[in-house]
Structure 1
Amino acid sequence: MSRLTVDPSGTHLRLGEAFFPLVMDTAWSSFADPGEEEWRSYLATRRLQGFTCVAVSVLPILHDRDERAGSREPFALDGAGHPDFGRPDEGYFAQAREFTRIAHEEYGLRLLLVVLWNNYVPGTWAAARTPYAVMPDRHRRAYVERVARTFGDLEPVIAVGGDDNYRVPEANSAYVEAAAHLRETAPRCLLTTHSAPHADLPDDLADALDFFCHQSGHDVRNVDLAWQQAVPYLARSPRKPLLAAEPAYEQHGRVNGHGRWSRDDVRRASWTSVLAGAAAGIGYGAHGMWMWHSPSARFTSGGASLEPYPWPTALGFPGALDISLMARLFVDHRLYRLTPAQELLADGAGEVLRLGASPERDLLVLYLPYSRDAEVLFDLRGHRLTGWDLAERAPVTVDPVFGNGRTRLRQLPSLSDQLVVAERTR
């Protein structure tokens, strides 16, 4: 594969000279659970759906996985069933490398590999759940060296941390140290980190990364984080690409609420995050696919997450095709140009609608969560207007009224959420 780099603008990634939207599916346990034929079947499906990347944790997420016979382990287990970090399993890492090679070379899908899920570093919320999994410093350093040696020449994206809020100095030091080592020993790999909701990324770690990933997650109290969390990242200097890596997973339980997150919920979170400036790509997850769930396995994090679906069922969730449309629109309209433009919405509609625009206003994109009129404080007569019924994934005709430097968009004949794209033609 061509080398993945950051565009000098700091807004997006490039593969060679072309814009590379990081359209990322989540399959965290891919190195531990599926066989090669299952892996190939999965990759073929996501490639045809327009995904460009798959997120995988190098090590098992110990508090949040399927427990089943036949799972591969990266380290030998002691008598209590806990990992012995001084005894790595060479076969595990060899197969992880081969799975990465297959994804890159045969299916054209880039892997994003999380190196240190926060179970494995001291003082974090997940370490409190699995204290036996905190790596001693010498074993952690040896493991990070192994990651660079195993994967570096294949050039995956590397996330140094996983699901942390980055408020524990000792853990942060481990992430910063890992980033420095990987920068030196795997210099062609882009570096990022996977953040929990409400994360507070320290400056020394932020400075070590090439781009940022934020997470609004699965708690009903965090719905607005899909657009709110972009603000501090966009305020950092220099500008670095940003994406929402973990909106609510489709059919995951609504934590601190009732029911499951629907494809409509996922679509809303995805579009509001992009139009808030997290426009370098998008993450997606299907509840059952990310842990490769088998009906014969015991999922360790049921409860509020609710029981997952079998992975073949989750692979077919319809929300993945909503992301397919988004992937197409990313490329067709170069959506990385967007920054928040709520000030261009009339009549207080910014409380409900989301509007993104390029700095030159040659591209404006409006998200409407339901059918209604909307007024934009900008004359769009010189723009080509395209509407989308997002639930149907079908184009609709936009009905604008121009006057007094404004554009009123009449209600579209759609029963769900909509997108209006305005791109300058002259």
Structure 2
Amino acid sequence: MNRFNPRLGVDPSGTHLIADGEFVPLIIDTAWSAFADPSEDEWRTYLRTRRRQGFTAVLVSVLPIPHDRDVRPAAREPHTHRFTRLDDTFFAAARRYTRIAHEEYGLRLMITVLWNNYLPGTWGAGLTPWAVMPADARRAYVAKVAETFGDLEPIFVIGGDDHYALDSANEAYLQALATLRASAPTCLFTTHTAPNATLPDEIADRLDLHLHQSGHNAENQELTWRQPARYLARSPRKPLVNSEPPYEQHGIVNGHGRWSREEVRRASWTSVLAGATAGIGYGAHGVWMWHTPAGEFQARATSLEPWPWQEALAFPGALDVSLMARLFVDHRLHRLLPAQDLLVDPRLRLAVSPDRALVALYLPFAVEAEVRLDLSDHRVTGWDLAERAPLVPDLVGRTVFRQLTSRGDQLFVAERRT
């Protein structure tokens, strides 16, 4: 890799990724259709914006997501004639876009290889049976992905939005993983999961890091703190990221309205303090499918109509992620483990490092908070997350945080003095 985007590895602790020995938080934006839709100038505009905001990675899909995309004229496609021929022009452009992201902007692409719709029997194939890829075409496609991207060292994301409950689909993912590992041995590998997915050991054991998804459904928001426990219970530990909390301004599935900046931020901080400490994912509803007035979004019935991508790129929640990116690095938040047993009020979130040198307290609303820890030898800093502004904490004795005048959520970080 070039010096601007050095080779990624997994820290021996299993908690986070490193490059040149330094912690690299995965601050992931979502642009699934990046290879299909934006012009090269648009791609650079997008990358420049997200780089400036502190993002470190972009999640994309080589294959279009057939039930969840913008259909519009002139979209680039990886296949022609019903999977009978791979389009070399598409793959050449995708390789060029990857090099631009890596070499000009230092943003690592996380390239999703097999979205579940393309495998028979999956829930996505039930929605789009015409999109199921024959086995021989699938193998040729995976080989082309390896040839196109392997030397550029993206993070390969083997599957897309699956529950990994179907043996035949899992076998296809494992075959793809084996092909890609053989061709790109220096790359890292993970997979993208649907909400409530349970990864089988034969897949989980072959991955370098884990992505989980709390998603966009009203009934699934407890997954921000329930799902990480399943991954933390695995051995050995591997870096974990909630790659898909609700996207900003996405429709609240099985609910009413749209996910606000405040709700996205709450899901994100809850995820991190629940143990998904290797980074965070973000999506702007309009960017991830690259929506334009000429496009027809296929999932508007549940996800609601997107904003044009240029407007969605300016959603304020991306700046909340910017602050989170800074705090990840400043405080090395990858050290945290959930510690709800040390909280008096279970509505709040608390995480501590194993040696208790680092403590992080998240308040989703202004309230007094008591922790069962002696913080007298810690330096405590605070943030009004809605305003993205520092807060001066008001501690009573060693353990009680008095309620502060703040209309939004708050974060307090305590670090032991050395």
TM-score normalised by structure 1 residue count: 0.96
1:70 matches 2:80: no
In the alignment, structure 1 residue 165 sits paired with structure 2 residue 140: no
Task: From 374, 385, 406, give the equivalent of 1:414.
Answer: 406
| Partners of 2:260 and 2:334 in 1: CA distance | 26
Cross-structure match for 2:103: 105
Query: How far is 1:66 from its partner?
Result: 0.4
Q: Structure 2: which amino acid aligns with 1:119?
A: N
Aligned to 1:380: 375
Distance 2:405 2:390 in 1: 11
Tell me the equivalent position of 1:53: 57
Structure 2 counterpart of 1:16, from 10, 16, 20:
20
Once residues 424 and 401 of structure 1 are traced to their aligned partners in structure 2, the CA distance between those partners, rounded to angstroms, is 18
Give, in whole Å, the separation in 2 of the partners of 1:214 and 1:388: 27
Equivalents in 1 of 2:120, 2:26: separation in Å?
30
The equivalent of 1:425 in structure 2 is 417
SS at 1:413 equivalent: coil
Identify the residue that residue 80 of structure 1 maps to in structure 2: none
Q: What aligned pairs does 1:145-164 form with structure 2 within 5 A after superposition?
A: 145-164=143-162
Q: Describe the superposition over 1:157-199 as per-residue Cα deviations: whole angstroms up to 9, x where unpaired.
A: 0000000011111001111111111111111110000000000
In the TM superposition, residue 22 of structure 1 has moved relative to its aligned partner by: 0.3
Find the partner of 1:41 among 27, 45, 50: 45
Amino acid at match of 1:209: L
Aligned with 2:285 (options 272, 284, 287): 287
CA drift at 1:295: 1.3
Residues of 1 paired with 2:150 and 2:165: CA distance? 29
2:386 aligns with 391
Query: Aligned with 2:186: secondary structure?
Result: coil
Of residues 358, 383, 396, the one that matches 1:401 is 396
SS in 2 for 1:229: helix
Within 5 A, what are the aligned runs for 1:245-256? 245-256=243-254
> Secondary structure of the equivalent of 1:356?
strand
The letter for the 1-side match of 2:85 is R
In the TM superposition, what whole-angstrom CA distance separates every residue of 1:100-133 from its partner, at most 9, and x where no partner exists?
Answer: 0000000000000000000111210001111121
The alignment covers a number of residue pairs equal to 414
Task: Provide the rounded CA distance (Å) in 2 between the counterparts of 1:148 and 1:186.
Answer: 7
Counterpart residue number, 1:326: 324
Q: Residue type matched to 1:39 in 2?
A: W
Given residue 410 of structure 1, which amino acid in structure 2 is its aligned partner? R
CA contact (8 A) 1:180 1:208 kept: no
CA distance in 2, matches of 1:274, 1:28: 23
How far apart, CA to CA, are the structure 1 residues paired with 2:151 and 2:332?
A: 30
1:322 Cα deviation after fit: 0.1
Give the deviation of 1:41 after TM superposition.
0.2
Distance in 1 (CA, whole Å) between partners of 2:234 and 2:177 is 19
CA distance in 2, matches of 1:118, 1:337: 33
The equivalences for 1:261-410 within 5 A come to 261-346=259-344, 349-350=345-346, 352-402=347-397, 406-410=398-402
Aligned equivalent of 1:96: 94
* Matched-pair identity in %: 65
- In the other structure, the counterpart of 1:206 is 204
Write out per-residue CA displacement over residues 301-340 of structure 1, whole angstroms, 9 at most, x where no aligned residue.
1012100000000000000000000000000000000010
RMSD over aligned CA atoms reads: 0.7
SS in 2 for 1:116: strand
1:369-423 per-residue CA deviation (whole Å, 9 max, x = no partner) reads: 1001000101101111001000000001001112xxx500101221110000001
Structure 1 counterpart of 2:335, one-letter code:
R
State the distance in 2 between where 1:16 and 1:194 align.
26
Cα distance in 1, alignment partners of residues 7 and 14 from structure 2: 17
